[in-house]
Amino acid sequence: MKETILHSLAKIEKDFDVKILYAVESGSRAWGFPSKDSDYDVRFIYVHKKEDYLSIDQMGIGKKRDVIDLPINDLLDITGWELTKALKLFRKSNPPLMEWLSSGIVYYQAFSTIDKMKELSKLVFAPNSCLHHYLNMASNNFKKCLQEGPVMIKNYINVLRPVLAAQWTEKYNEVPPLEFPRLLEDLLPEGELKDAIHTLLKWKISGDELDYELKIDVINQFLNGEIERLKEYTTTLNVELTDFTPQLDQLFRSTLEEVWHERI
């Protein structure tokens, strides 16, 4: 499968005349519990040629899209962000991007840009940004998936993972790992709740999605209580962010020089 992904990335470089810097897995495979029918959620960062940036219309305006996404099929979901878009989100400690940088499944990496971003990530990291992101995701999914209509296994996981990610951020003041089992083992004590979640994961991995009403009271009570507690915790945070724009501007320029062998 990796060969298919690399072939798709090479075709993107050719079709869009860009260079890809980094490509990783971001979905259930990176979370540590793919089922037999899970697709591959590939996310990548790419850079255009220098002349594409030296124009009166900046990247992301009009026809100059700052996202490349291929049509989703049963096997592959591939989406990429252009470098200036990625760096502006990185400056804001964007949680999905920070997760990409910490993914344990790297399909491709070239040049030095990503290593430099990883070095900066601990300085750029903003816990309030992460907490708000994960709590919004958890709250929305809890209301939509667990309180309205039939509940499937993936509905529970789509609420559990952001709640545990928020707990990790609270506990360690760092970007949470993508691997769900790591979050689970570190954050929850042994007992009924943890056993129930382990059962869910076993069902998920075996492909038993269960498309009928599924209600697990011990998990519902945990999620409802933690979402409210973490919301209250976020009101106590007062984080002053440093502006890393000059460093990121330089990183962008040095990337163009390194990738295209042209001085700016």
- What would the pLDDT profile of 128-155 be if each residue is shown by its tens digit? 889 999 999 998 888 776 555 566 777 7
Top pLDDT among 164 and 262 is at 164
Top pLDDT among 109 and 243 is at 109
CA distance 225 to 157: 16
- pLDDT in the model for residue 149: 59
Mean pLDDT calculated for residue range 77-103: 94
**pTM greater than 0.95:** no
Token pair in block for residue 198: 């382990």
CA distance 232 to 234: 5
- pLDDT in the model for residue 253: 95
SS3 category, 201: helix
User: What is the residue-averaged pLDDT of the chain?
Assistant: 88
Q: Is the pLDDT of residue 79 over 90?
A: yes
Mean pLDDT calculated for residue range 1-17: 92
* pLDDT confidence tier of residue 210, bands split at 50, 70 and 90: low
Specify the CATH architecture of the domain 2-124+242-260.
2-Layer Sandwich (3.30)
Token pair in block for residue 227: 């979402």
Mean pLDDT calculated for residue range 33-54: 86
CA distance 21 to 241: 27
In this structure, the strands spanning 19-25 and 67-69 are unpaired
Q: Is the pLDDT of residue 263 over 60?
A: no
Residue ranges of the domains in the chain?
2-124+242-260, 127-234
Mean pLDDT calculated for residue range 32-47: 83
